[in-house]
A and B are shown apart, each in its own frame.
Chain A
Amino acid sequence: MSPGVCRTCGGSDIDLDQARGSAVCTGCGSVLEDNIIVSEVQFVEGSGGVSSAVGQFVSSEGPVKAPVLGSGFHTGVGKESRAQTLQSGKRQIQNLGSQLQLNQHCLDTAFNFFKMVVSKHLTRGRKTENVIAACLYLVCRTEGTPHMLLDLSDLLQVNVYILGKTFLLLARELCINAPAIDPCLYIPRFAHMLEFGVKTHEVSMTALRLVQRMKRDWMHTGRRPSGLCGAALLVAARMHKFHRTVKDVISVVKVCQATLRKRLTEFEDTPTSQLTIDEFMRVDLEQECDPPSFTAGQHKVKMQQLEQELAKKLDEVEGEISTYKDEIETELERNHPKLRGVYAAYSKEIDPQEEDASSLTSDPEERRSVDVELEAAAQHLTQDFLCQVIQEETEQGKKTDDICKEGEAGSKPEEAGPSRQTAPLVSILGKLTNAASLDLQESFTTLKDTETDNQTADEQPDGGELDLDGIDDLEIEKYILNEREVQVKTELWMKQNEEYLREQKEKEERIKKEKEEGTYKEKPKKPKKKAEQIEASTAGEAIARMLEKKKISSKINYDVLRDLNRRGKGSETGSSTSDTPTGAGRKRLTRRRRRQKTNNGGDTDRGLAATASIMGKRLRPLISTSTPKKKKTASEAENTVSTTEPVKEVVSEVQAPPPDPTTETSSAHVDEEEEEEEEAEPQEEEDQCVSALQLIGDYGCDVDEEEVF
């Protein structure tokens, strides 16, 4: 404000005179500033000699309270929207905060957060109470008060995860880093609620030590802090000879029994639990444990490994047993004297046994119905016997291994993937046995699957066409039911979904009915405002009509607007003739409709007839658009009459029969009139209507037409 350098001479020696309020350059004498504004506090002497400062106290939160003018007349403006939001927010914060017993400082901070949130438009699309709760929780976290999100959700009866979502979003947007929750914060609060009396402090201390120990033992990451506190407090209470049951603790801490039990068992697993009470108070073990879920996972993995090894060993044992079995059988057969003649039949009995053995192996093949497998199985069986025979002859394990491995190599090209599976078996058993052949057959099926998968994994660029490469049609046909099955399923489905189908039918019927009546509204989703189109000759007129219809602003005096418009009516009518008849008809239509809307006090007869005429009117544009420009009123009237007849039926559905003749006559009548009007002088009609209006005595408005009966 103070001028630094003179403009004319450049000198910096400027004299400020406060009394005169002027700044003068001492070098050249030019006056630089006149009437300098000062910002000082002034005092006035009030009645009784009391001096007070001049001025008003203006709050920093905008014009919350409008300055009282004169007699305190309520200004029509009201408060700004933003100020209202902030005020209601503040009120809610105070409300909630007092229930949580937060001090004023916290509440003010919460309100500041809320202001930031509002200015960033984060309240859009969210419930205010959720946002308020999130702000409060943010404060709790930054201040370190022992309030949980669960408390807030209890008060508001809102799902805690919804609150959590809002809270996380706010924290992210406002760039507030809430420090992590420490379960130690909650101990004093819960201890107090558990009513330990004089010893509350001691119990809290013990519980704190326990929690710290738990932290060191990795029990607290990923868990709700309240659960840990509950467990710690329970143990501490018992240590100090308080008989607090699990139920008591749960009701305070807000976790469920299962959780508490689990925490206790986890703590039991740690070495600290083995110490006595005194030892625990004195000593701190160095060793730290792994997180309990990690140990559980490790345990599971170990169990799985054990199971696998066991299964393998079982297989081995089985294999060995079956080899022994085969050997014994062959030995028996060899040693058994061959039966001839009469006893040949007996030998056949023995043979089926062997055949059974082979058929057992072939059954799984048939089940899978793969030719390759049959061949391979046959191969393996023959090799099996070969191996056994050779073994019996030479009794050299190594040779059989070679032969078996040769046999393996022969079939190797067919086995690509699962060779891993067969190799250890071969090495364990040393030769092919029944069990081994079974496994091999399994491996064949899996191999086939992998092969087909490989084929079908080919990539093709999609240009909209479906690439059928590698898609097994047969398999896909399995997905589709045949005729009979379709029928059965249809029946079942119809029965199951009867309710829904019935509803759909009713809805359809309703829509059909409405369509016939012509009151069918396409879908409630579309805005209904589209229905009325405002046709106006000038922009000003259109705006005026829209404003009237909507009554948007409370700052406009509509009466004056109307008067203005009416006075200008005479000049407008001339221009209305340029409108097409249909346009004019529609114009009148909208006016009539609006007129109807505003006319509530009409008597029933007139009302009915009016609605009837509306029906006719609404159809009018349809009729007029279809028919060419009319010259003869009579023919037109006839047309309208004839068209109204089928319409009459529709109309009669809605209304009682009595108004029918009136409908017909009135619509025809009015149509006729309209014809005449349109052809001749629209002006007259309007004047006529004006006079009719006045006769009827409705309040004058811009809409001049009225049903003339």
Chain B
Amino acid sequence: MDSSNDEALDIIVTNVVATFRTRCHLNLRTIALEGINVIYKPEVGKVLMKLRKPKITASIWSSGKIICTGATSEDEAKLGARRLARCLQKLGFKVRFSAFRVVNVLAVCSMPFAVHLIDFTKNNRPIASYEPELHPAATYRIKNLKATIQVFSTGSITVTGPNVQNVATAVEQVYPLLFECQKPLCK
């Protein structure tokens, strides 16, 4: 996976967020009353629907915009979205599946070494920021990839980006920087 090490780093994608449009107006009350696993929030104006098969939670608005969260891969997100659209079709709405777009991907990765956050922040001054009073991790933002990496002192990192490819590239980019500031483990 990464060039400077023999072992491969496991990048585990934990969450994929995607949106799509049904191009038709949805009656939230009907959905709320006739569906299983739905939570209706009239104050906000949306319905939460949870699917079991790809474990997905979808927020449905009456304008026809739907946000799916909880999938573990881009394909799964698409599958879940299609399942959801099919379910809405069965409820009687003229649903069309359009503008499917993966918005955000969250992945975690664990380095085999601990990282000295203060050195890391010092070396990458404007890009990295570390504020222990606010958050235990140092934040590193890569502008051109639009990815944000949070580095914890134990060596675990979480990466968020617009798609899985970007996330992988971001990890590869940040690995050498982390390697420099590593703290050798005594055990």
Contact = CB atoms under 8 A, between A and B. Distances in A.
A493 B154 CA distance: 48
Interface string B24-36: 0000000011111
A224 B33 contact: no
A706 B9 CA distance: 85
Interface stretch (B62-70, B91-99, B159-167, B171-179): B91-99
B35 A293 contact: no
B114 interface: yes
Nearest to A471: B86
Contacts of B105: none
Nearest to A137: B133
Contacts of A150: 133
B42 A223 contact: no
A583 interface: no
A346 to B, nearest CB: 50
Given A160-B134, A218-B183, A466 B153 contact: no
B115 to A, nearest CB: 8
Nearest to A180: B118
Interface string B126-139: 10011111101100
B33 A489 contact: yes
Given A466-B82, A471-B82, A222 B114 contact: no
B32 to A, nearest CB: 7
A222 B134 contact: no
Nearest to B32: A493
A160 B27 CA distance: 41
Contact of A222 (B37, B83, B152): B152
B79 A462 contact: no
Contact of A160 (B75, B133, B137, B187): B133
B50 to A, nearest CB: 10
A457 B137 CA distance: 36
Contacts of A175: 126
A86 interface: no
Contacts of A297: 154, 156
Interface stretch (A357-365, A428-436, A472-480, A599-607): A472-480
A294 interface: yes
Contact of A224 (B89, B90, B132, B137): B132
B100 interface: yes
B78 A221 contact: no
A144 interface: no
Interface in A449-489: 456-457, 459, 462-468, 471, 473, 475-481, 486, 489
Contact of B132 (A177, A222, A466): A222
A480 B91 contact: yes
Interface stretch (A283-291, A390-398, A563-571, A662-670): A283-291
Interface in A137-173: 148-150, 160-161, 164, 167-168, 171-172
B143 interface: no
A457 B74 CA distance: 10
Given A456-B79, A480-B36, A490-B33, A161 B154 contact: no
A699 interface: no
Contact of B131 (A164, A218, A226, A467): A164
A293 B86 contact: no
Contacts of A164: 131, 133-134
A223 B131 CA distance: 10
Contact of B136 (A168, A181, A223, A457): A223
Interface residues of B, number: 54
Contact of A291 (B43, B87, B153): B153
A172 B126 contact: yes
Contact of B114 (A167, A223, A291): A291
A464 B97 contact: yes
Given A222-B136, A465-B96, A476 B87 contact: yes
A466 B34 contact: no
Contacts of A294: 114, 153-155, 185
Contacts of B36: 478-481
Contacts of B118: 180, 221
A709 interface: no
B126 A181 contact: no
Contact of B40 (A462, A476, A493): A493
Contacts of A51: none
Nearest to B125: A177
Given A160-B134, A180-B121, A224-B133, A466 B114 contact: no
Interface in A165-197: 167-168, 171-172, 175, 177, 180-181
B93 to A, nearest CB: 11
Interface string B90-123: 1100011110100000000000001011100110
A150 B133 CA distance: 8
B66 to A, nearest CB: 13
B97 A467 contact: yes
Given A293-B153, A486-B34, A465 B183 contact: no
A497 interface: yes
A230 interface: no
A222 B117 contact: yes
Contacts of A468: 86
Contact of B23 (A181, A464, A475, A480): A464
A161 B134 CA distance: 7
B60 to A, nearest CB: 13
Contacts of B155: 294
A486 B12 CA distance: 40
A298 B100 CA distance: 40
B85 interface: yes
A476 B98 CA distance: 20
A148 B133 contact: yes
A225 interface: yes
Contacts of A481: 34-36
A294 B126 CA distance: 27
B186 interface: yes
Contacts of B97: 462, 464-467
A281 B134 CA distance: 33
B129 A168 contact: yes
A462 B154 contact: no
A500 interface: yes
Contacts of B137: 222
Contacts of A180: 118, 121-122, 130, 132
B158 to A, nearest CB: 13
Given A464-B98, A479-B87, A221 B133 contact: no
A298 B96 CA distance: 49
A223 B154 CA distance: 12
Contacts of A160: 133-134
16 contacts: A149-B133, A164-B133, A164-B134, A167-B131, A172-B126, A222-B132, A222-B152, A290-B186, A291-B153, A293-B154, A457-B75, A459-B75, A463-B98, A466-B82, A493-B40, A497-B42
Q: Which 7 pairs from chain A and chain B are nearest by CB?
A: A222-B136, A221-B153, A294-B154, A164-B134, A466-B97, A464-B96, A222-B153
Given A481-B34, A489-B34, 11 more contacts: A180-B122, A180-B130, A218-B114, A225-B132, A291-B154, A294-B114, A297-B154, A297-B156, A464-B23, A466-B95, A481-B35
